[in-house]
Amino acid sequence: MREEEKYTNPEEQLLYLQKRLDEEDTVALSELFTELDILSIARTLESFPTKTRDRLWEYIPEELLGEVLAEVDEDIRADYIEGLSASDLEQIVKGLDAQEVAEVLDVADEEIKTSVYASLDQEIRAQVENLHAYEDDVVGRYMDPETVNVKQGVSLEAVQRYIRIHHLLDDESQQIMITDKDKRLLGTLTLIDLIKQPQESIVDEHMDPPYTLNDQMKVSEAAALLRSKELPFVPVCDSDGLLVGQLNAADVLEITQDDADMTFKHMSGVSDEEEVFTPILRSAKSRGVWLGINLLTAFLAAFVIGQFEEVLDQIVALAILMPVVASMGGIAGSQTLTVVIRGLALGQLAGNNKQWLYNKELWVGMSNGLVWALVVGFISYLWFSDPLITLVITLAIFVNMSLANVSGVLIPLVLKRFQIDPALSGAVILTTVTDVVGFLSFLGLATLIIL
């Protein structure tokens, strides 16, 4: 097997792995896992159902197990760690850096955690305890506590020598921190400048002014910030202004990826944690909740229709056309909702932009409403040759589509004001509105005009 084959296409790699598993070719499997990097192993584990995954763990080289464990999805990590003793885990976290140890121990029982703590190298242990002291959703919890710090007034040459003598700079370091004697950050120096600038000049001449994050900042906000400013890393300071670590883009990437992913899932009523290979029972349960909520709104719509039994009983064409009204409103509204949720995520909606957007969506809703109301009216006339039904459905589509767009703006803005994730409940509230308004206007107008 050529090296290329395993790397260029995740799907082909998966197929190759499946074949070797089917043939129980343990030699090829061990060989494959020796050649793969940590990230590829983690992604591979995530691409199999639980049973197969349990077989795969055995082929992972022992010395990589800790790093793989730190890298895989939290669910999978918890599943694997559940079966381990304290001494197994002590073995696994040996050699990991503080960030990785913190990640792995996060899902362990308190008892095991305490025992593993005791086995750690003192410096790492202090760092891990420090990371664990932070809340789950703040920057401090996700930062790398190890940074390369130098004092003011030092020459670049001296910095380079200092790095070589003390074996500093791990794979994640990308900048040098220039601090005063209290560990207050004065500036940062890129590795690029460290190399390209005259070696006898001092760090002060080349340092960039420090742009820092507070360790108590919400990590999702920090992630969005790093992403929008395309920063590879940012120094982290505590509330006294002292340097405590750095937040790396690699970790940030994962978080924003997760955020986008969450929005995408929430819009369709899927929970954050659900992946393709989530076991049947867990999937069924988590989706069931959403189905239940939807059922309430569906019965609300049914209840509205129920109020118009009389007119439905007389004109069966109304029952036939009902879904068209609801469906056009639903689509128009969710188009608006999608654009607005994205605008909110990008922080583009503030002040009089909101008013502008409201007006825009009203006009888009009314103009599209008018066009499609006429189209639907025309088709309905061809179908039922009834001018009153035609009038009723034309008006109803226009009303529902115009209101749908306005709701698509107002619902997420109101939800955000109340600190509710608009992606999670926006879609279901919107559908409720467009269904209720749709049926109410259609059947209500029919009662008024036709009966």
Residues 6+ apart with CB under 8 A from 148: 163, 168, 169, 173, 176, 177
Figure out which of the listed residues 60, 76, 207, 376 binds its own copies, where binding follows CB under 8 A: 376
Q: Is the Cβ–Cβ distance between 421 and 391 less than 8 Å?
A: no
> Residue 133 or residue 276: which is nearer to its own copies going by CB?
276
Q: How many residues bind its own copies (CB under 8 A)?
A: 123
The smaller minimum CB distance to its own copies, of residues 130 and 431, is found at 431
400: which 2 tokens?
């529902």
- State the minimum distance, in angstroms, from the CB of residue 32 to its own copies: 15
Quote the least distance from Cβ 192 to its own copies, whole Å: 5
CA dist., res. 156 & res. 151, Å (int):
11
Among 299, 378, 387, 388, binds its own copies (CB under 8 A): 299
* Minimum CB distance to its own copies smaller for 111 or for 171: 171
Rg of the chain, C-alpha, whole Å: 29
Residues 91-150, interacting with its own copies (CB under 8 A) = none
Contact status: 262 vs its own copies (CB under 8 A)? no
**Cα distance between residue 328 and residue 375, in whole Å:** 12
The conformational region for residue 24 under phi > 0 = left, psi -120 to 50 = alpha, else beta, is left
Is there binding between residue 302 and its own copies (CB under 8 A)? Answer: yes
328 touches its own copies (CB under 8 A): yes
Q: Which is nearer to its own copies, 163 or 242 (CB)?
A: 163
| Tokens linked to 147 | 């940074």
The answer to whether residue 347 forms part of the interface with its own copies (CB under 8 A) is yes
For the segment 8-37, give every residue that binds its own copies (CB under 8 A).
8-12, 14-15, 18-19, 37
For its own copies, which is the closer residue by CB, 31 or 343? 343
Dig out the tokens for 268 from the structure. Answer: 């369709």
d(CA 426, CA 412): 6
Query: Cα(396)–Cα(449) distance, rounded to whole angstroms?
Result: 12
Q: Which of 152, 283, 425, 447 is the binder for its own copies (CB under 8 A)?
A: 283
Q: Which is nearer to its own copies, 102 or 427 (CB)?
A: 427
Among the listed residues 274, 391, 421, 425, the single contact to its own copies using CB under 8 A: 274
Distance CA 374, CA 427 (A): 27
